[in-house]
Structure formats: structure tokens, C-alpha cells
Structure 1
Amino acid sequence: MGKVAPTPEPTRLSVVIPVYRSAQYIEPCLRAILSQTRPVDEVVLVDDRGDDGSIGMATRILTSADVEHRVVELDRNHGAGYARNAGLRAATGDVIWFFDSDDLADPTFAARMLDALVREDADFASCRTVFVDPVGAALGVAEPRQPRQGAVGGNEFARMLMRGKVKAYPPARLFRRAVLGDAPWDERRAYEDMAATLRIALRADRVALVDEPLLWYRQHPESTSQVTCTHTADVFAMGDEVARLAPELRERNTPSGWGSSWLEGSRNRSLARAFRYREVLIPAAHMAMRAAQANSGDPEVVRSLIAESRRRSSLADVVPLVASGQLRSAAFAVGMAASPSAYARVLRTR
């Protein structure tokens, strides 16, 4: 007689939702949570003091649906990272879904992600993401298809993050509470997702991959990634933190023996360089240049972003960027070294 598989322990799923000026989106957000084919066990709303009535709307919707929920009231607006950490402390589940108050999800998200998490005995599960416009119409899938279903090691997932093969959107994950620690999200700045997700991945032994795009990420003009302001400069601090974490990466196929540490270090430096241009310098400079062309944003902030992007670019990076196939980044480095204003004129035509 074969061995009987153990009955899996019951899983309690808590959804943590920071709420800040979400009156336009909070109802469809909560309807997406309430329509899950595998019902969530608890909703934790974090009032990040947007003071637009969205918390009241949310509590009325959850109360009428008879869903277990609680509200964490912050003393003032702190931002998404602080609000997620506060919600995590109040949550009682052993699996946590951090959901943004303007996002949507496939009705099978919870069921399929939990199934992958348990089946693969993973520390967290990750799916692909669909971008949607302010009214919820699909714009396209954010990440390429994964080479396979199943799971990867946490270190391999960290490398996928740095290569841009997966995005660092927290709502596209289900996390076992144990892998998160006490305060996983950066509280000091905007662009709080990338370095935090990288740290979590480096702590994880195993990450379940779900190839389907089950999260619907809403893009709108008010989002941090779309507005040039003082918070935009936080992207540089994020890049610095990622660079500090890069040496912790381990390449699965790096040979052992003499020279292996040097080879691994060289690969990590190349990976960090490509990330710096793709995810930090090019986005910051392009946002600032487009703001200047549209006569929007604080002119001093715009000038500062362009100057900092230029300072962090280098002609010394051009050859290694070309060698690694990062032609767009190499062209950016040349353009910023030669003439940012000429580069901006070229950008205007694209």
C-alpha cells in the first residue's frame, strides 16, 4: 500500500490594502477581491489619510458583503510602503496578499496562486501582470511568458527581477508570512517595491511561478511612475539599494574552483549596470525631459533629475553595455555625455 499524502494544513489568506485617495477605484478594487472563486479570509484596510471618503466607501462595501475586515488608521499620510507594513502587523493570515486600491484581479487569482504556493512548497507565488487603463481596458501584458511552469529558487527569481523578466509589483504575489519579516517594504521613499521584493526573493528558498497574467495593474496619470515630482528622485535611492544587494546574487551555472568568484562578481556587475540604466537612469531622465517639453512639473526638479541622470551615466559603460546587448542603454550613455539637450530633442520625435 502506498504512502498516504499528508492533508495540507488550512491556509488563512489576508488581503492588505493601503487606501489613499481611491474614491474613483475602491469599489471595483473590492469587487475584484469579493469575486474571488476562493474567498479571502480577511481584508485589512490601511487608511493612509487621503481624506477623500474612500475608507468609508470601503468599509460600507465590506460590511454589506459580511466579509471579515479591519481598519488600520494612520496618523498621517506615510506612503504605500509604510501602509503595507502597518497592514501586515494587523493581519492574522499565514499567507498575505498586498493589493493596491486601484488594481483589479482575475477571479481565479487567489485559487490558482494558493494552489501553486502549496503544490510547489514555495515561500511565495508570482504571476504575470496585465496593464489596464483608468477604465479597466487591457493595454498589454507586462512580462514575457515564463519558460516553464513550476518553481525557481529565490536567487534565480532575484535575477529574473533584475533582468526585467518579472516586475516587482507586490499585488502579483502571494507571500507566506514567514518570508516577509516584520517590515519588508521600504518606508522612506517612493519606488518602494523593487529593492524590497529583491530582498524577499534573496531570503526565499523557492518561488512558485504562475505563467498566466492574473493581476490587472491600473495605469493612470496620477501614479508615481507617471508624474514628475520631488518623489521621482527616489528612483536613484532605489537603484543604489539594488546595487548594494547585487553582490548577494548567486549564478546557478557558475563553475566552482579558481576564478569562480571573479566570474560571478563580473556577471553581477554587468547585471547591476544594465538594471541601473534600464530601470533608473533612462526612466528618470525621460520623465524629466518629457515634463520639460510639456512645461509641466517643477523646473528645478526637472533640471535636477536630468543632471543626476547625466552624473550617474558614463562613457566607460558604453562598451560593456553594447557587449551585453544593451544597445538602448549604450545610446543613452553616449547621448547624456555628449548633449542632454540634443538627446531630449531626439526623444521628442519618438
Structure 2
Amino acid sequence: MKSKVSVIVPVYNTMKYLSEMLASLEKQTLKEIEFIFVDDCSTDRSLEILYDFEQRHTDKVIIIQLNENQGPGGARNVGLQYASGEYIAFADSDDYVKPEMYEILYKKAMEDDYDIVECGYFSERRDRDMMLWDKTMEGKVSFDNRVKMLMSCGFIVSKLYKRNIIIDSQINFIDRIQFEDVDFLSRLYCRIEKVGIVDKALYYYRDNPDSFTNKGNKLSYFDINNTFSRKYIDNMRKEKNYDILKPVIDYVVIGIWFDMFKTYVTKSSKIDMNSLQTIDREIKQYIPNYGENMFFVEQAKYDVLKEAFLANSYDYKKVVKILERNEK
């Protein structure tokens, strides 16, 4: 039976939640579906749970066991090599999905041969349903909507992707590091032509404190940001629309450094000027004029932390003044 959808699930030490995810996949109303699990060197009972699931669904399940930890990105890259479906989806092993999710997304994709179909998700952290893209994004991708996609980035797990675009374009994930989904989605957004929107929350996104996103890896935050910035910019420079999209591509890189800056200034009892200078110096390796980015400049009019962040590009002392002014 040919698969309409291939669902790729990287697995690493999620036995606490894995059975719930598997139960939600088992209930999928779309029958022409395959599940590809990539065990990323789990040390708990995750692999055993996967094999039990495979025994019940031998015609739909593929299990790949890696002999070296590659992170979610590397695990998804391996999964892509085995995917045969017309469309591809990604899910995290500590989340779960509604029974009708992939049938609804696939039917939507078939309506107008969409390259990507986006749905809503329930955020456990915010305790509510979320939609990152609304119906105005549906249809042929305009330049403005492409910019919106890059700025919002979105979740990799709340979408269905036309397989040929990923495979033919040879788009892979950055392995062994965070933000791998940002790089993957950004490159995909440069290539897609039509987007479908399903205005329903079909994915349950869990706030797992032990996830790769929350715990990260052995690299320092500076190492993570530098590795991502370098690889992301190198990858995006290969896209045909790089020159015209450069301000928003820069915005994405600036955003990850802003997150570091925000964490530092909100959690430090006293601001260290040397740390501010270090953050500024690191960003300028990639975007020397980041303080003039049109998107960040506009947002800084309404966000004090972003105002302080941009001020850090030319006057470290002014950062403290802006933050002190905000506290009064």
C-alpha cells in the first residue's frame, strides 16, 4: 500500500510520554500512512516501546536505530531517507496528535496541490490553542507573505510538506544543535509556491522540561548561536531570493541573539558591560549593522528590551539607562 503521508519522529529518552504519542498515531483516520521512528541512542526504554508498537503495525512502521547521537535534526535527516509518502510530516515523541490530523491535512493538500499545509496547535505552556498563520496566508505565496513566514518561522510539527520539494531541493536539517528547524523552514519558505491553512488545533505541543529544546546540549549558548548563525547564513546565501530577502534573513539571526540578550538582562541582578560588549561583538561577525535592521527598528518602538538591544550596537551604557527608565 502506497503511503500518502510519512510521519518522521525522532526519539530520544522520552519513554515517559512516548506511549501517548504512539497511541495518537495508532488512531489516525488516514490509513495510507507510515510512521518512521529514528531512535537517537536512547538510554531508557524508548526503543523497547517502539518495537512493541512495530509488532502491532509491521506494515506501517519503520524503526531506525542510530549508533551515534545526532540530535533531532540529524535524526530527521535519516528519517527523510526512508520516507516514501507523497507528503511528509514531522512529530516530536513527547507530544501527541489528534486522530484526524493527517487525514485533514492531506485532504487539504489535495484541494489545490499545496506545497505546505499549516494547522493550529495546543500550547501546553500557554494553555490555549494557537494559530501562527491565518487564512490570509492561504493560496499563492506573495512576497509579503513569504516575509511573514520567515519572520514567524513557526513550528515544524504543525505542517504537512510536499515530499518532492524537500527531496528534490536536497534540504537537510543542521544536526546536533538547536534551531535546526528554523534553518530548514526558512529554506523551504524560499521555495514553496502555494500554502494551505487548516484553522483547527490538531497538534498537542507539550512543554517538556527535559526536551532537547529546553535542555539544549553540551555547547554553550555562544557556541550554539555562532554555529547556527554561520550555517544559516551560508545556507540562505544559496537561495535565489537571498538579496531581496536579506533584511528578513538578518532579522532571523538577530532574533536568536536578542533572545540571549533578553535572558541575560532580565535574569542578571547587575548588568556587566563586558558581557554586553561580547554579545554585540559576536553578532557583528555576521551582521555588522544589526542595529539598523528595519524589522527590529520598527518593533523596538513598542518593545523596551528590543530598544535596549539595538542601543547595545552603538552605546553599551545607554542599555542600562533604557532598562532603568523602564523600571521606574
Superposition TM-score, scaled by structure 2 size: 0.78
In structure 2, distance between residues paired with 1:71 and 1:18: 10
In structure 2, distance between residues paired with 1:310 and 1:156: 31
Question: How far 1:81 moved relative to its partner?
Answer: 1.0
Check whether the contact 2:9–2:90 (CA below 8 A) recurs between aligned residues: yes
In structure 1, distance between residues paired with 2:165 and 2:293: 39
Residue 38 of structure 1: SS of its match in structure 2? Answer: coil
Q: Which moved more, 1:62-71 or 1:284-293?
A: 284-293
Residue 219 (structure 2) pairs with residue 230 (structure 1): yes
Question: How far 1:24 moved relative to its partner?
Answer: 1.0
The 3 A distance-change label for structure 1 pair 116 and 141 is same
Question: How far 1:155 moved relative to its partner?
Answer: 6.0
Residue 304 (structure 2) pairs with residue 330 (structure 1): no
Residue 211 of structure 2: SS of its match in structure 1? Answer: coil
TM-align CA RMSD: 3.7
Question: How far 1:56 moved relative to its partner?
Answer: 0.9
Question: What are the ranges of 5 or more consecutive residues in structure 1 without an aligned counterpart?
Answer: 1-9, 251-263, 294-302
The 3 A distance-change label for structure 1 pair 69 and 150 is same
In structure 2, distance between residues paired with 1:271 and 1:36: 37
The 3 A distance-change label for structure 1 pair 142 and 241 is farther
Q: After superposition, where does 1:1-350 map in structure 2 within 5 Å?
A: 12-39=4-31, 41-64=33-56, 68-133=60-125, 139-148=127-136, 150-153=138-141, 158-164=146-152, 166-167=153-154, 169-181=155-167, 182=170, 184-187=172-175, 189-227=177-215, 230=219, 232-233=221-222, 234-243=224-233, 245=236, 248=239, 268-277=245-254, 279-288=255-264, 307-309=278-280, 311-312=282-283, 317=291, 320=294, 324-327=298-301, 328=303, 329-334=306-311, 337-339=315-317, 342=320
Residue 86 of structure 1: SS of its match in structure 2? Answer: helix
The Cα offsets for residues 192-231 of structure 1, whole Å up to 9 and x where unpaired, read as: 0111111122222322222323222222223344347625
- Opposite residue 285 of structure 1, the aligned amino acid is F
Question: How far 1:309 moved relative to its partner?
Answer: 5.0
In structure 1, distance between residues paired with 2:108 and 2:250: 33
Q: Which moved more, 1:311-320 or 1:208-217?
A: 311-320
Question: What are the ranges of 5 or more consecutive residues in structure 2 without an aligned counterpart?
Answer: none
In structure 2, distance between residues paired with 1:154 and 1:187: 31
Question: How far 1:82 moved relative to its partner?
Answer: 1.0
In structure 2, distance between residues paired with 1:249 and 1:272: 13
Check whether the contact 1:120–1:150 (CA below 8 A) recurs between aligned residues: no
The 3 A distance-change label for structure 1 pair 322 and 215 is closer
Question: How far 1:236 moved relative to its partner?
Answer: 3.8
The Cα offsets for residues 22-70 of structure 1, whole Å up to 9 and x where unpaired, read as: 1111111111212222235211111100211111112213423566212
Residue 190 of structure 2: SS of its match in structure 1? Answer: helix
Superposition TM-score, scaled by structure 1 size: 0.74
Question: How far 1:128 moved relative to its partner?
Answer: 2.8
In structure 1, distance between residues paired with 2:290 and 2:151: 21
The 3 A distance-change label for structure 1 pair 285 and 16 is same
- Percent identity for Structure 1 against Structure 2: 18
In structure 2, distance between residues paired with 1:163 and 1:49: 33
The Cα offsets for residues 240-264 of structure 1, whole Å up to 9 and x where unpaired, read as: 45445279575xxxxxxxxxxxxx9
In structure 2, distance between residues paired with 1:190 and 1:316: 22
In structure 1, distance between residues paired with 2:300 and 2:238: 21
Aligned length: 312
Check whether the contact 1:315–1:334 (CA below 8 A) recurs between aligned residues: no
